[in-house]
Structure 1
């Protein structure tokens, strides 16, 4: 933008200089030529008067008496009836400006001046005009640079402010630039920063409060299940179900702890290297009874012995959401297929149902978007959980539905935290 402002300012100045400069050159050239012609005419009239006075006085008409009556750089010819022709000065070469005048006694005078003298004067005038034009261009460049700096620097600063807001730093900067329009933008950004800060604070407080409130009943439930496991030695089925429920509570506790940690500091991460097969196996075993009740089956296929980077509890929660959606909205066999693409481990969840309605498409991950009377939060939360550990959840195919969870296979060192001084 700086270059554009300077270029546009210079373009305007050059156009103005060209229009007025050419007009001035034309006017000055004609003025100098007219002035030179009038000077030669005046010289000829004056010389005719002198010759006529000499004739009336009976004096001689010769070069000796008239050579001091004309300028050194001019040439004159005096013709008087009955007298020899008198020439004064040196006849100029090339183009000349001449004037012929006649007196009352038939005397004639011709005065000539070299046009090169006029051309030299015109050249000096053009040099002066050119020098003034260059000074004007130089002044325009300086003013354009100053004006561009005054406008571009605030815009760059405002862009940095907007980028800070987008990166999660909602502190207002309270900077003003002396330009009403830019100051108005700064006011709006500062007001937006205040609102975003209050919203983030409220959301983090809500997440922290909800997480804190959930920890107590989860702890109590976990203790009760442990008691059931400890006292149910003779009831193998009860012990098995209690063990499964205890595992679910532990995973839910892990998710709550993760929410609480993120509420305190959203930049902290809890991703670790874990065995992806264990998580998939646990989910298949956990959901198999529910599918058997619906006369359906859940199986796994693909690459085995995969390790991935993430939070095991969060990955389990994402897979549980996809499996539950297939149970509620799908049909036939649900397959969890694992594969490797590049440096990522992929878990695909698919079934034999009708899939995602065409009118939903990629919007299926948006909050409150649901096709069959559900809350519309499950897939949105699942995508957030996946992205929190550097993964992603995508809909690869609408019919039959294929949801894919992409997880990294290498731990990426966390970026150094920025320290803000406010």
Structure 2
């Protein structure tokens, strides 16, 4: 592209120089020739006027006097009737420019100048014109190179940006070049880079979330299937298989929920559901793991509450909190349900050391963890809660108390009492 810009610019300059240069040469040549002819004619008139004045006054007419009075620098020949021709200067050889003038006494003055003088003057003019043309060509080449670099370098840079996007590096460069068209292309590429970065971030986040959220349910399902394989009683097999199918349905719901949340975290499919059923299912699913760790998980608080949300998402939030207490907490884990205003609240607490003071404000951020875990679970749980219009908060750091707030469905005549009933 650089070569094309330089060649095209140089071609335009050469055409312009050729057109105007040839015209200028013709005009200057004619001007110099006309000026030389006028000068010769003027000198002839001056000499003939001197000769006339001397003849009228009876003064002698000779070459020295005429040369002194006229200041002639060219060859002049004076023809006076009845006298010998008078010559001033040296007669030129070759082609000449001739000027002729006649006086009142019949005298004739002929002034001649070699045409080589005019040719030399034309040559000097052509040399000046050629030098100016060469200077114009050099300036045009320099400007063409600068303009070519100004246009080609941004295009090369934009091509490198597009290549980086294609190779998976979506960082926008935010470079502008002072050319509106190129800046527009740069704006589009930067916007595309930002969109690709968001898409890649969402994909990586989905992969991390899915890996984290499916790990424990898959382990539980595997253990359940092992129990099915080892069971001899048909009723036990049917019961375990039914539980396993229920877990598969929950896994399907988890995957669907993660995909929906990855596309648009604000998208929800909230319905009214029974909180007790979700809590009971989570306790049953996590009880074997807690027994293996020599710990217990209990439920207390208000019963028969109905909340508005997505049961699968609420189950995953509770699973994240229960798993967090299993990994980082200690003693008995308690799930307490209560009502505050128009919200249903599920609190998850344990008897462990709690959340370190330096992590309290950042506990729901991704990659923030008090130990060697991924730091994803609580962040995913918060996103799932917010997608259903709820919220997840850390109410107390020591001992730790996490609370899930959900909109409550109030039913008339739901005479459930406030008494606490532990479930083990």
The normalised TM-score by structure 2 is 0.51
Aligned to 1:163: 163
SS at match of 1:113: strand
Cα 1:60/1:77, change in 2 over 3 Å: same
Aligned to 1:95: 95
1:173-230 Cα distance to aligned partner (Å, 9 max, x none): 1111222222222111111111111112222323333444444454445445555666
Q: 5 Å matches for 1:110-259?
A: 110-224=110-224, 226=226
User: What's the CA shift string for 1:123-180, capped at 9, x where partnerless?
Assistant: 1111111111122222222222222222222222111111111111111111112222
Structure of larger gyration radius? 2
Distance in 1, matches of 2:188 and 2:64, equals 92
Give secondary structure in 1 for the equivalent of 2:202.
helix
Q: Could you say what secondary structure the match of 1:82 adopts?
A: coil
Displacement of 1:41 after TM fit? 0.3
In 2, distance between residues paired with 1:17 and 1:69?
A: 47
Which stretches in structure 2 are left out of the alignment for 5+ residues? 233-254, 256-424
Report the secondary structure of 1:171's partner residue: coil
Question: Pairwise mapping of residues 9-24 of structure 1 onto structure 2 (< 5 A)?
Answer: 9-24=9-24
State the partner residue of 2:385: none
Question: Structure 1: how far apart are the matches of 2:63 and 2:12?
Answer: 59
Determine the C-alpha separation between the residues in 1 that align with 2:22 and 2:83: 50
> Shift of residue 42 of structure 1?
0.4
> Which segment drifts farther, 138-147 or 97-106?
138-147
Partner residue, 1:350: none
Cα distance in 2 for partners of 1:212, 1:133 equals 76
What's the CA shift string for 1:241-266, capped at 9, x where partnerless? xxxxxxxxxxxxxxx9xxxxxxxxxx
2:46–2:70 contact (8 Å) kept in structure 1:
no
Whole-angstrom distance in 2 between the partners of 1:201 and 1:25: 71
Question: What is the aligned-residue RMSD (CA, Å)?
Answer: 3.0
Where does the alignment leave 5 or more consecutive residues of structure 1 unmatched? 233-255, 257-422
**Counterparts of 1:207 and 1:64 in 2: how far apart (Å)?**
115
**Aligned-partner SS, 1:120:** helix
Q: Secondary structure at the match of 1:118?
A: helix
Given that residues 50 and 70 in structure 2 are in contact (C-alpha distance below 8 angstroms), is that contact kept between their aligned partners in structure 1? no
Per the alignment, residue 37 of structure 1 pairs with 37
Q: Render the CA deviation track for 1:326-368: whole Å, top value 9, x for unaligned.
A: xxxxxxxxxxxxxxxxxxxxxxxxxxxxxxxxxxxxxxxxxxx
Q: Determine the C-alpha separation between the residues in 1 that align with 2:71 and 2:166.
A: 83
CA distance in 2, matches of 1:196, 1:120: 73
Change (3 A) 1:71 1:121: farther
Structure 1 window deviating more from structure 2 (41-50 vs 70-79): it is: 70-79
CA contact (8 A) 1:61 1:83 kept: no
Partner of 1:74: 74
CA contact (8 A) 2:75 2:91 kept: yes
Aligned 1:261-280 pairs, distance under 5 A:
none
Q: What residue number does 1:57 align with?
A: 57
Task: Identify the range of structure 1 (196-205 vs 39-48) with the bigger mean alpha-carbon deviation.
Answer: 196-205
Q: SS of 2:12's equivalent?
A: helix
TM-score normalised by length of structure 1: 0.52
Which secondary structure state, in structure 1, belongs to the residue aligned with residue 172 of structure 2?
coil
Q: 1:71 to 1:141 in 2, by over 3 A?
A: farther
Report the CA distance between 1:67 and its aligned residue.
Answer: 2.9
**C-alpha distance in structure 2 between counterparts of 1:65 and 1:110, whole Å:** 17
Give deviations 1:293-325, integer Å, cap 9, x for gaps. xxxxxxxxxxxxxxxxxxxxxxxxxxxxxxxxx
Local SS of the residue matching 1:111: strand
How do residues 282-297 of structure 1 correspond to structure 2 at under 5 angstroms?
none
Cα distance, 1:125–1:69 mapped onto 2, change above 3 Å: farther
Task: For residue 91 of structure 2, give the secondary structure of its aligned residue in structure 1.
Answer: coil
Structure-1 separation of matches of 2:69 and 2:28: 29
**Residues of 2 paired with 1:63 and 1:209: CA distance?**
118
Q: Distance in 2 between matches of 1:35 and 1:93?
A: 21
Q: How far apart, CA to CA, are the structure 1 residues paired with 2:177 and 2:72?
A: 67
Deviation of residue 33 (structure 1)?
A: 0.6
Give the Cα–Cα distance (whole angstroms) in 1 for the partners of residues 77 and 167 of structure 2: 93
Deviation at 1:5, TM superposition (A): 1.7
Contact kept? 2:48, 2:101, Cα under 8 Å: yes
Partners of 2:188 and 2:164 lie apart in 1 by 14
2:44 and 2:109 in contact (8 A); partners too: yes
**2:307 matched residue in structure 1:** none
